[in-house]
Structure 1
Amino acid sequence: MFSAQHIPSEQERSELLDSIGPLPLQGVAWPKWIKILACLVLVFIGVMIIQTAAGPTGKAVSPMVAGSILLCFVGLVVLARYMLISQTRITQKGIEQSWISRREVAWEDIQFAKFIPLVASKRLICFTARGRPVVFQAGTRELQVAFARIALVYRRQK
Structure 2
Amino acid sequence: MTPFAKPTPEEHAELLARIGPLPLRGRAWPRWIGVLAWLIMLLIAGRLMVTASSAAGQQVSPMVAAAVLVCFAALLVMSWGIWTSVTEISEYGLRQSWVTRREIPWDQIQSSKFIPLVASKKLVCFVQKGRPVTFQAGTPELQAAFAHISLIYRRRP
State the TM-score, normalized to the length of structure 2: 0.97
AA aligned opposite 1:152? L
Q: Which residue of 2 aligns with 1:30?
A: 29
Q: Which residue of 2 aligns with 1:86?
A: 85
Residue-pair matches, total: 156
In structure 2, distance between residues paired with 1:100 and 1:69 = 20
Residues 72-83 of structure 1: pairs in structure 2 closer than 5 A: 72-83=71-82
In structure 1, distance between residues paired with 2:125 and 2:59 = 49
Q: Which moved more, 1:124-133 or 1:42-51?
A: 124-133
Deviation at 1:131, TM superposition (A): 2.6
Q: Which residue of 2 aligns with 1:71?
A: 70
Deviation at 1:150, TM superposition (A): 0.1
**1:107-134 deviation line (CA, Å, top 9, x unaligned):** 1100000000111110000001123100
Residues 1-158 of structure 1: pairs in structure 2 closer than 5 A: 4-158=3-157
State the TM-score, normalized to the length of structure 1: 0.96
1:4 partner SS: coil
In structure 1, distance between residues paired with 2:123 and 2:58 = 47
1:95 partner SS: strand
2:126 partner SS: strand
C-alpha RMSD over aligned residues: 1.0
Gaps of at least 5 residues in structure 1 are none
AA aligned opposite 1:104? E
Deviation at 1:5, TM superposition (A): 2.5
In structure 1, distance between residues paired with 2:71 and 2:151 = 39
Q: What is the identity percentage for the equivalent residue pairs of Structure 1 and Structure 2?
A: 51
Deviation at 1:49, TM superposition (A): 0.3
In structure 2, distance between residues paired with 1:109 and 1:30 = 24
Gaps of at least 5 residues in structure 2 are none
**1:119-153 deviation line (CA, Å, top 9, x unaligned):** 11100000011231000000000000000000000
Deviation >4 Å, runs of 4+:
none
